[in-house]
Structure 1
Amino acid sequence: MLKWTVELSQFEVDYKPKTAIKGQALADVVLEFPSHQEVEPGALVVIPSTEEVGRKSQNSAPWWSLFMDGAFNGEGAGAGIELISPKAHKIRRATYLAFYATNNDVEYEALINGLKLALEMKVENLNVFSDSMIVVYQINGGYQSKELRTEIYLKCAQRIIVRFNEVRLELIPRGQNEGADELAKLGSRREATLVGVVPLDI
């Protein structure tokens, strides 16, 4: 060790300890530089049964997209969803939550409302996009839910998901989720301008 210290001293090498990395910063880096694997990071990977394989191999239903987000602020809590058809038609909804809700609650409310809307539209294959790492990873099995309330939301979402042919959840940066984010913020404020333009559920 002393030998290396002497050898390296001539190069003026300074040791700097690593500082702590915040979780959101790390998540942003992972999203900005995705891996080259065939399965996208955060994508839901389901191992189907033999019967499901036969049924799904014959299913060539088009894929819809669901962008979802929740908002929690001093004025209240809201959820925003944007369901997009294969032909790029958009169905937007905002929801005002008339009860106390945490950040995770509003994200799950947005997911569950979006899944229910997709079922109403007879969607079979659905890509879900969210900027909530907690929700995406809990649904995909990466994170465990530690609170009873979150566990209830998780099980409710999973019960709805199995009613589809296939659902994929993907984590996206906040900048790519602006439409749903704006709807969630408007819903949390019970924005009057939504009436007649975007359905506002309470």
Structure 2
Amino acid sequence: MNDLDRLQGAASKTELAASRKLALRSNIPFEDALRTTLTTSAGHAGLDHLLDERAALRAAEAARALARRTARDATREAARVAALALRRLRQEGAPTAWRGWFDGSAKPNPGRCGIGVRLIGPNGAAVELSQAAGYGNSSEAEYRALILLLETAVAHGAGPLTVYGDSRVVIDDVNGALADSAAVLRPLRARVHALLARLPATTLRWIPRHKNGDADALSQRATAALAEEIDDIEPIHEGSE
């Protein structure tokens, strides 16, 4: 740091302004004017003492600012971690005696639907189903998968039950108001609510796709089987008897 930088770093805004006026009025370099101003401010203690004292004050303020930033960053990180934990809790929830996963797909979309469900009971035994589910779009396929899972849960007397799916459309539609439901999905929604009435201790939770791998694999197996059935159908040629 050169002398001018050191002087400017020590000077207040008032001292800088006064030094500029002095330089103009006396026709002297700004550095000389600033040195004169600060020497006056230093009084009997001397300029060097003033510069050292103000440098120490700047260092202390910088340390306090760093501490504030560190504390603020720590608070933000703690809030981020808490939000992540809450999101995971909402997604995964506390473990219940029964847990189920569902997934559905349509290929093409809309197209032939394949659905897959997995239900685990309190003894750890799992029920896995993979089947065709008619024609429709991906949301209809997801809904039909949820219906199959709930029908399976009713058949096994499941409860309390936590249901997991990666379709925000279906989860939000089931949990939302009827007025907000798409007309094409309302019959499926009604069937789900009728089943939920028979499973009163049931909670639906959204999970990301990568956490729904088993149900996804089951639904993909169903759509793959559909594709194989189509490939196995022999084409009908004109004129064939």
Q: Which structure 2 residues correspond to residues 17-56 of structure 1 after superposition, within 5 A?
A: 34=84, 36=86, 40=90
1:84 to 101, 110, 120: 120
Match of 1:124 in 2: 159
Q: Contact 1:76 / 1:189 at 8 angstroms: preserved in 2?
A: no
> How much has 1:161 moved relative to structure 2?
0.2
CA distance in 1, matches of 2:159, 2:181: 31
1:95 to 110, 131, 147: 131
Q: Contact 2:106 / 2:138 at 8 angstroms: preserved in 1?
A: yes
> How much has 1:42 moved relative to structure 2?
9.8
1:63 to 86, 97, 100: 97
Q: Which digits, 9 at most, give the CA deviation of each residue in 1:109-141, with x for residues without a partner?
A: 000000000111111211000000111111122
Q: Contact 1:42 / 1:140 at 8 angstroms: preserved in 2?
A: no
Q: Contact 1:65 / 1:83 at 8 angstroms: preserved in 2?
A: yes
Change (3 A) 1:175 1:83: same
Aligned length: 143
Match of 1:107 in 2: 142
> How much has 1:39 moved relative to structure 2?
7.1
Change (3 A) 1:136 1:162: same
Q: Contact 1:134 / 1:143 at 8 angstroms: preserved in 2?
A: no
Q: Contact 1:42 / 1:137 at 8 angstroms: preserved in 2?
A: no
TM-score, scaled relative to structure 2: 0.53
Greater RCO, 1 or 2 (C-alpha within 8 Å, sep 6+): 1
Q: Among the aligned pairs, what percent are the same residue?
A: 23
CA RMSD of aligned residues (A): 3.0
Q: Contact 1:131 / 1:174 at 8 angstroms: preserved in 2?
A: yes
> How much has 1:165 moved relative to structure 2?
3.2
CA distance in 2, matches of 1:121, 1:192: 31
Match status 1:134 vs 2:134: no
CA distance in 2, matches of 1:173, 1:155: 25
Q: Which runs of 5+ in 1 are unaligned?
A: 1-29, 44-61, 194-202
> How much has 1:145 moved relative to structure 2?
4.2
Q: Aligned to 1:80, what secondary structure does the other structure show?
A: strand
CA distance in 2, matches of 1:73, 1:145: 27
CA distance in 2, matches of 1:81, 1:176: 14
> How much has 1:76 moved relative to structure 2?
2.5
Q: Contact 1:83 / 1:91 at 8 angstroms: preserved in 2?
A: yes
Change (3 A) 1:187 1:165: same
Match of 1:50 in 2: none
Q: Contact 1:129 / 1:170 at 8 angstroms: preserved in 2?
A: yes
CA distance in 2, matches of 1:144, 1:171: 21
Q: Which digits, 9 at most, give the CA deviation of each residue in 1:130-183, with x for residues without a partner?
A: 000111111122795443220111111011101113110111111110000010
**Letter of the structure 1 residue corresponding to residue 106 of structure 2:** F
**Letter of the structure 2 residue corresponding to residue 129 of structure 1:** Y
